[in-house]
Amino acid sequence: MDFIPNTDSDRREMLEDIGVDSLEELFSDIPDDLKVEKDLVDGKGETELELKESVKAIADRNKKPGDRLSLIGAGLYDHFIPSIVSHVTGRSEFYSAYTPYQAEISQGTLTWMFEFQTEISELTGMDIANSSMYDGGSAAAEAVLMAQEYLGRDKIIVSETLNPRYRDVIETYLPLEEKQVIELGTRDGRIDRIQLDEILSSEDSISGLVVQSPNYLGIVEDLSGLKEALDDSFLIVSSNPISLGLLEPPGNFGADIVVGEGQPLGNPMNFGGPLLGLFATRKDYLRYLPGRVSGKTLDREGSEGYVMALQTREQHIKRERATSNICTNQALNALAATVYLASLGPSGLKSLAKINWDKAHYLADELTDLPGIELARNQPFFNEFAIEVPGDSCDIWEKMKENEVDLLHPDNLKGAGWEDILLVAVTEKVKKDELDHFVASMRSEVE
């Protein structure tokens, strides 16, 4: 049992053992101006009822989707979550389950993991999927590492319209001094095929290309011919999983790895986390796959059972042979995605994707009828699109905020080189009268 000091003499004894005279001396490295020079508790305390009311008052200061019109997007989306999702994820056998080290007592967890892998494989058009990564950014970075390891090459081409957060994670994973990332520019919002050909003909040791579709501006990339141009270099595609209910899966275009952010699949936005990384690939690369894989088998009596078929991480095998340093997955988030996709089914996901597509295009048509507003890039888009606005985009953002409409702050786009652009995301939860309210608010600013 751990020793927990609960008397003054215990504390004094521990302080003496580490060579300090007081708690103040123990924390002397903290600057005085950062210390709170008052009691945090007034001494009389609160009843449970009073405490809950106090905490609720603090929580209510946060504005959440539903209180205001949220059109933010940029990687996280406010989709409707069926009640069945929380009903299943809230069950104690799932909610508190740990890593399924013992298959004989973890059949429930191993079963849904297998179902999750199956759903993601079918959704992406790939042979196999692992049972999840941390988030879309880490999945993209792990895909880069996998391509480099398999091919023994160090350079990776990254589209400038990949989510900037994903690009940051990739660059963090890779050695900074070796400059392994080659940025690929765009033409009218899509990857620049001419520049890509030039890079492939002039650079050696290319392990692959990372492209996002729909990309950061919401534009659907044309993936045809990319794998042929890359030859044996990896085509790594990051996709919004909801869009795959409507768009042809990347696997049909020859993608070697498909990754993505699984938050739209039954997970709330939660202030940006926890999230869920999707990772699918071809069976030829199974031994290089990061994360873990649940497999179906038969026991000696012929009954079906599930086991951990692959878990090539340093906790289980020699560190130098591990394919990833990620030590777990986002199990509860992946379970939510599993139940979400099962509850919708193929036809339901297709209908959902179509609603998102239709609402976004309705809003885009209404906005571009306003003077001075036009699509930033005239390309097919899914549920998200960028508009060019007259005047300062930050000023318009502030005005929309005053009208209780939340958009991605333009600084997130200026940093990527797009000036005076607003990014707008629409999901099935946004009602027509809310879209019309946004259009009316924009009209008052531009006319």
List, as one string, the DSSP characters of 383-394.
SEEEEE-SS-HH
Tokens describing residue 323: 């394919």
Q: For 358-383, how does the pLDDT look when each residue is reduced to its tens digit (9 = 90+)?
A: 999 999 999 999 999 999 999 999 99
Task: List the one residue out of 318, 240, 305 whose CA is nearest residue 75.
Answer: 240
Q: Residue 421 and residue 401: Cα distance in Å, rounded? A: 16
pLDDT at 5: 56
Q: For 117-144, how does the pLDDT look when each residue is reduced to its tens digit (9 = 90+)?
A: 999 999 999 999 999 999 999 999 999 9
pLDDT at 102: 85
Asked if residues 74 and 408 have their Cβ atoms less than 8 Å apart, the reply is yes
Positive or negative: CA dihedral 126, 129, 134, 140: negative
Tokens describing residue 420: 């005076």
pLDDT at 3 over 60: no
Residues 6+ apart with CB under 8 A from 255: 124, 125, 126, 223, 227, 235, 236, 237
pLDDT at 1: 42
Tokens describing residue 173: 């994973």
Q: For 158-184, how does the pLDDT look when each residue is reduced to its tens digit (9 = 90+)?
A: 999 999 999 999 999 998 767 899 999
Specify which of 15-24, 223-232, 292-301 reaches the highest per-range mean pLDDT.
223-232
Q: For 180-221, how does the pLDDT look when each residue is reduced to its tens digit (9 = 90+)?
A: 999 999 999 999 999 999 999 999 999 999 999 999 999 999
pLDDT at 316: 64
pLDDT at 90 over 50: yes
Could you give the domains of the chain?
Answer: 69-81+347-446 (3.90.1150.10), 83-341 (3.40.640.10)
Q: Output b/e per residue, 59-97; b: 16+ Cβ within 10 A.
A: eeeeeebeeebbbbbbbbbbbebeeebeebbeeeebeeb
Specify which of 56-60, 104-108, 338-342 reaches the highest per-range mean pLDDT.
338-342
Q: Respond yes or no on whether the N-terminal peptide bond of residue 410 is cis (omega within 30° of 0).
A: no
pLDDT at 183: 95
pLDDT at 415: 63
Q: Which long-range contacts (CB under 8 A, 24 or more apart) does 114-117 make?
A: 114/294, 114/295, 114/296, 114/306, 115/338, 115/342, 116/334, 116/335, 116/337, 116/338, 117/293, 117/294
Residues 6+ apart with CB under 8 A from 154: 148, 178, 180, 205, 207
Tokens describing residue 386: 């960028």
pLDDT bracket for residue 109 (50, 70, 90): very high
pLDDT at 66: 80
pTM, two decimal places:
0.88
Q: What are phi and psi of 196, to 5 degrees?
A: -60, -45
Task: Quote the percentage of the chain above a pLDDT of 70.
Answer: 95
Residue of higher predicted confidence among 27 and 127: 127
Q: For 297-340, how does the pLDDT look when each residue is reduced to its tens digit (9 = 90+)?
A: 998 899 999 998 887 765 666 677 777 767 667 899 999 999 99
Count Cα neighbours of 138 within 13 Å in the Cβ-side half-sphere: 18
Tokens describing residue 223: 């993936």
Q: Across the chain, what does the average pLDDT equal?
A: 91
Say which DSSP state 324 is in: B
pLDDT at 327: 63
